[in-house]
Amino acid sequence: MAERSFAKEVQQLRIGAGEEFRGEGILAVTKALLECGVGYVAGYQGAPISHLMDVLSDAEDILGELGVHFEQSGSEAVAGATLAASVHYPIRGAVTFKSPVGTNVASDALANLSSGGVTGGALIIIGEDYGEGASIMQERTHAFAMKSQLWLLDPRPNLESIVKAVRDGFELSEVSNTPVMLEMRIRACHVHGRFMAQDNVRPKMSLAEALENPKRDLNRIVLPPASFLHEKEKVESRWPNAVTFIKERGLNEFFGGDGKVGIVLQGGMYNGVMRALQRLGLADIRGHTDIPLYVLNVTYPLVDDQFLDFARDKDAVLVVEEGQPNHIEQAFGAMLHKAGLETKLFGKDPFPVAGEYTGPVMLDAIRGFLLENAPAVLSDSDRAPNRPQMELPDLSKTVPPRPPGFCVGCPERPIFAGMKLVQEELGEHHVAADIGCHLFSIMPPFNIGASTMGYGLGPASASAFNVKAKKRSISVMGDGGFWHNGLSTGITNAVFNKHDGVILVVDNYYSAATGGQDIPSSRANNKSRSTAHPITEAVKGVGAKWVRQIDRTYDVTKVRDTFREALTTNEKGPKVIVASSECMLNRQRREKPQMAKAISGGERVVKPKFGVDEDVCTGDHACMRLSGCPSLSVKELDDPLRDDPIAAIDQNCVGCGNCGEVADAAVLCPSFYRADVVHNPTRWDRRIAKFRQGVMSWLQKRRDARRLVFAAEGA
Amino acid sequence: MDAIAPKTFDQVPDRDRTIKLAILAVGGQGGGVITSWIVDLAERNGWYAQSTSVPGVAQRTGATVYYVEMVPEGESTPVLGMMPSPGDVDVVMAAELMEAGRAIQRGFVSPDRTTLIFSTDRTMAVAEKIVPGDGIADSVPVMEAAREVAKEVHAARLELLATQSGSVISSSLFGALAGSGALPFPRETFEQTIEASGRGVKASLKAFAAGFDAVRGTAGVQEATRASEAPDIAAPAPAGPAVAGPEKMRQAWDTLLQRIEREFPAEAQMMARAGLKKVVDFQDVRYGKEYLDRLAAMLRIDEAAGGAERDHDFTVAAAKYIANAMAYDDVIRVADLKTRGSRIERVGADVRVTSEQVLQITEFMHPRLEEMCGMLPASFGRRILANEGLSKRLDRFINKGRRVRTDTIRGFLTLYAIGSLRGYRRRTLRHEMEVAHLEKWLALASETVAEDYGLGVEVLRARRLIKGYSDTHVRGESKFDRVLSAVPLLKGRDDSATWLNRLIEASLKDEKGDMLDGALKTIRTL
């Protein structure tokens, strides 16, 4: 069950021609796929296209009605290879994943697919994770398109353009026998907008028909001599066909008048460029401008004569190309040079070479370009701004950084608390971290983890440390990474190479960081997937001997002791610890409504919450250095005798138990208590509680009668 | 009806009225909900709206930005921005005070156009929590900056208002947006949006109204320095706290209070009363008398050192820290506190237990041999600790986590019995150790203050470092010792007190005292 449900939104996928669709970018993409008669869709979750997978999952009924097969791929490599169904058969297929990391994983399949070519339209929808909010290395997918010669669409970031790109993409793929990548930037994935829908179309050929009438063509298989033929085909027929289609169908767009300066831009940059022009008084909110714009909705391949025609009568052209290297600018430079044109080319100057093209970057660069090449179009104040920029108050020392971290009640927190404790005993160790929520361990308060080498590659990245030493390496991966590739690259490899390190598998029942999608070891009952395959079974199956299963990660003492054993045992080979507790975000989403219903239905429900005795807490914050839970915070007491704020637990506490367990395992303090509220208590509950209260209050009164009792604070 | 006249935004050359709105939130605060509400609201009023956000792990408790642009429907689809730009935002909303600060820092708030709406409640960042001392960020610079930079500020305790209404902050923040008049839409349409969302509508509307009222007519800033310093905390009564108990004890208590008034300078009286209450609550009235005797001795030393000219800083510090030292955190105190009626009431209030429900309380205790021996008669406890073999064997039985259900007779009685050992406390090993430590410290302070007044005061203040239990307590004591080791080195310097204070502050910056060691190194080279 995913973190966000689109059950309501997906109903819009049923609308037909003439109706208006309103919603998010990714939902629009799904609708467009259905309108294009797609035969199958697959993918692997990851921001910013996680929700696309969630939408597809929630839309399985609708997909089924149309005869569209949907598959939640085991990895991006699987997703890429899935497109093989479009090699021989005229079936349209689409896959999706995050990029460039997902494309890295899928690149083997994509390179093979691009070599042999496709018959049915093959669309790869990539979520380009670049700029603010990105969680990965800052690279471009563009180079992948270039090296494998598959086409790259980068539509303007509005729903009409995105939907059109899907429709064009399939056709382009088919006329040029080449897979096509459709690049969606982070914000475009979640942009709310609208477009006019068309009717959904059933696939021309179903997968069943293909299976029952198998085809093969030796020329499409990547093996010599066909592979040499493929390379020729790419440049002699597929590329020219693509260029012709792009030109004839007007995939790239021209806006503005015929000034002496022009701007060439990636489609995805359009709104940013227009906003800069609006602020310079050179465009209006409806998209009218006098500055000539050449919008590359297709960023690969480039159309030489289209660009040269645009540049020919201009003094200067600015290329707006985000990220680096500046492949497009370089290509344009070569074109101008070969054509012997004098047009000046600008790009990474005035634009900065690295970094996102944010509002201010865009404004400064375009203003700079115009100032140098067409100062007359600028207003006086833009030409020579004489109003000094207002000094911002310096809050850098006041506003604390707030990086992402573990949620309230996260089951991974106690695992790292246990690790921190064991390191306090046995010294610091080399910890190879991995991609997933568990990577938050690298930040305060845990400060655990030295590297990440790619999803599921945590244990693999400790491979070299397979030598005799006084300490063992510790490596981490999540259940998502485990099934993605970690079982083979991490566990199997360690068993095979007799690695002596410790491998932690953080099992939270989902691919949690990407939004809680099910994976093979999920405990959920998923009607369309086979789940509940224990990780320990898989690990043992590939030959690991020292395997420990922790069923409640909140047991910090057990976590710590298991780590201690793993780090000190004489047993050879990898020491695998599988620590399992359900992702709290998902658990709450599932249990909260159930609990509320049970309570209102009169059932007996026990609801836990933790608290801190404020007169017992001394304000040393040792507990927080082993937690970082958003719910466990500090508060000032109105007590002149106190200097430092004390610990306090707010109402968001879900009673996970970490506070109490940590206080116990680390022998911190007796300030923590768990208060269980019994809703709808039974008659027995009430009777015994009444009896107990009677005894206690008698004892309390007895004691209070013999000493001074002060009124409570603030009373 | 609260129809608000549309504002004109003539920054855009073609006079299209675009409203740009950024929402800064902490992941999990419902920024997505309010964003979708604002889109719905705009569309409901015949405007075109576009929203964007940055999803993914950034939303796991981290700072995140949502962005909405809206423009009246026109002849074609408008071309709108995908992210907020500094100097180009009309409305900035922040669900948390420091996030408002972040918005200002990022340049989203401009004096010529930006309405800034935010909650003055705080959600502490990890960096603020893990400091051993007081790491809470100062809210004042943010409030000042808000006043200075924004065209209009609407700030209120929106989180609190939401909680009081049984809802979440998105509702009260939405109400504050309506109340601010920053959007040209009537109030009913805001409410229709909430109604159409269909979940928790009643509570949401209540919180909405609270948020609306909170900012209505308050174009200024409601003062709030620290969220925890809520204005509803009453000032301590000057006459001393209300007290109940046997007549004789109350008379003795009154005598002690009178003694404070009679013997101590005005500056020290408030602290002495607070200290007295703490030690009497810890032990008994006689202990209170001991406290005042000790304090009186300190006052004499203070006077001799010329304390009258220095606001009796030494006595004030002594009043505070002697009380803290005398009311040390032993097992008896913890057991006593945990079994009080007032404490159980407080727990019940925190979890909002009703009379229809049953409350169960589990305590998390982990006593070690040291705590157990601390409770034994001094010589006996000392002998056990001196015998390593015996200690080890005993520790195995004692040193483990114990969950005590204080709502059951058995668990309650256990702690009640331990708490009742107050009468015998003076004979325990722990008491002996604490007294020895206290006297050594006071001797050092007294000796120092005679030569160097400021330094003597700081010696008293170093007591702040001793807190926590078990290992944390040991670490605190070690820091305390390390800080005081600098006293001989500092004596005679003009800036001696400043330096010792710097050492204390450095000790509170990190757990192990690395900064302290660095500072000590500097002192040795002075």
B196 touches chain A (CB under 8 A): no
Those of residues 364-383 in B touching chain A at CB distance below 8 A are 364-366, 368
Give the pLDDT score at B526: 80
Residue in B82, B130, B357 closest to A624 by CB: B130
B130 touches chain A (CB under 8 A): yes
Q: Best residue in A633, A653, A691 to probe B by mutation, most B CBs within 10 Å? A: A633
Cα Rg, chain A, nearest whole Å: 30
A279 CB neighbours in chain B (<8 A) are: 88
Rounded to whole angstroms, how far apart are CA atoms B172 and B67?
Answer: 19
Rounded to whole angstroms, how far apart are CA atoms A536 and A539?
Answer: 5
Residues 6+ apart with CB under 8 A from B326: B279, B282, B283, B287, B290, B291, B294, B434, B438
Give the pLDDT score at B82: 92
Residue in B88, B245, B468 closest to A709 by CB: B245
C-beta of residue A679 within 8 angstroms of C-beta of residue A606: yes
Burial of A88: CB neighbours in 10 Å, binned 0-12, 13-18, 19+: middle
State the DSSP string of A300-344: ES--HHHHHHHHHT-SEEEEE--SSS-HHHHHHHHHHHHHT---E
Q: Strand, coil or helix: what is B522?
A: helix
Inter-chain touch A618–B467, beta carbons under 8 Å? yes
Give the nearest chain A residue to B504 (CA atoms).
A643
How close B25 gets to chain A, by Cα (Å)? 11
How close B509 gets to chain A, by Cα (Å)? 11
Distance of alpha carbon B355 from its chain centroid, rounded? 30
Give the pLDDT score at B233: 37
- End-to-end CA, chain B: 72
C-beta of residue B127 within 8 angstroms of C-beta of residue A400: yes
Chains A, B: CB contacts under 8 A, how many? 414
Give the pLDDT score at B9: 33
Q: pLDDT below 50 — which residues of chain A?
A: 714-715
Give the pLDDT score at B55: 67
Q: Best residue in A161, A402, A416, A629 to probe B by mutation, most B CBs within 10 Å? A: A402
B508 touches chain A (CB under 8 A): yes
A628 CB neighbours in chain B (<8 A) are: 126, 129-130
C-beta of residue A125 within 8 angstroms of C-beta of residue A96: yes
Inter-chain touch B401–A664, beta carbons under 8 Å? yes
C-beta of residue A195 within 8 angstroms of C-beta of residue A20: yes
Residue A319 token pair? 């290329």
How close A263 gets to chain B, by Cα (Å)? 17
A654 CB neighbours in chain B (<8 A) are: none
Give the pLDDT score at B232: 40
With pLDDT > 90 as the criterion, what percentage of chain B qualifies? 83
Residue B118, strand partner residues = B94, B155
A47 CB neighbours in chain B (<8 A) are: 55-57
Inter-chain touch B416–A699, beta carbons under 8 Å? yes
**Residue labelled with tokens 């939270």:** A508
Q: Strand, coil or helix: what is A39?
A: coil
Residue in A190, A444, A709 closest to B244 by CB: A709
How close B385 gets to chain A, by Cα (Å)? 19
Inter-chain touch A400–B16, beta carbons under 8 Å? no
B278 CB neighbours in chain A (<8 A) are: 641
Q: Is the pLDDT of residue B56 over 90?
A: no
B12 touches chain A (CB under 8 A): yes
C-beta of residue B60 within 8 angstroms of C-beta of residue A440: yes
Q: Apex CA A21: angle with CA A15 and CA A25, to 5°?
A: 120
Inter-chain touch A667–B250, beta carbons under 8 Å? no
B101 CB neighbours in chain A (<8 A) are: 395, 398-399
Identity (one letter) of the amino acid at B309?
Answer: E
Rounded to whole angstroms, how far apart are CA atoms A693 and B389?
Answer: 43
B71 touches chain A (CB under 8 A): yes
Give the pLDDT score at B471: 87
B230 touches chain A (CB under 8 A): no
Rounded to whole angstroms, how far apart are CA atoms A336 and B382?
Answer: 91
A668 CB neighbours in chain B (<8 A) are: 366, 468-472
Residue in A158, A645, A669 closest to B134 by CB: A645
C-beta of residue A155 within 8 angstroms of C-beta of residue A182: yes
**Residue labelled with tokens 């208002």:** B161
Give the pLDDT score at A703: 95
Q: Strand, coil or helix: what is A193?
A: strand
Give the pLDDT score at B219: 42
Residue in B60, B244, B470 closest to A437 by CB: B60
Strands A575-580 and A502-507: parallel
Residue in A272, A661, A679 closest to B82 by CB: A272
Q: Where does A592-658 show beta strands of DSSP type E?
A: 605-612, 632-635, 646-649
Mean local confidence (pLDDT), B405-413: 96
C-beta of residue B18 within 8 angstroms of C-beta of residue B29: no
State the DSSP string of B144-172: HHHHHH-SEEEEE-HHHHHHHTTS-HHHH
Q: Best residue in B351, B369, B405, B479 to probe A by mutation, most A CBs within 10 Å? A: B351
Inter-chain touch A285–B59, beta carbons under 8 Å? no
Q: Is the pLDDT of residue B231 over 80?
A: no
How close A513 gets to chain B, by Cα (Å)? 6
B433 touches chain A (CB under 8 A): no
Give the pLDDT score at B242: 82
B346 CB neighbours in chain A (<8 A) are: 712
B422-479 pLDDT, tens per residue? 999 999 999 999 999 999 999 999 999 999 999 999 999 999 999 989 888 999 999 9
Inter-chain touch A363–B85, beta carbons under 8 Å? yes
Residue in A22, A398, A675 closest to B350 by CB: A675
pTM of the model: 0.93
Average per-residue pLDDT for chain B: 90
Q: Best residue in B9, B23, B35, B52 to probe A by mutation, most A CBs within 10 Å? A: B52
Inter-chain touch A700–B241, beta carbons under 8 Å? no
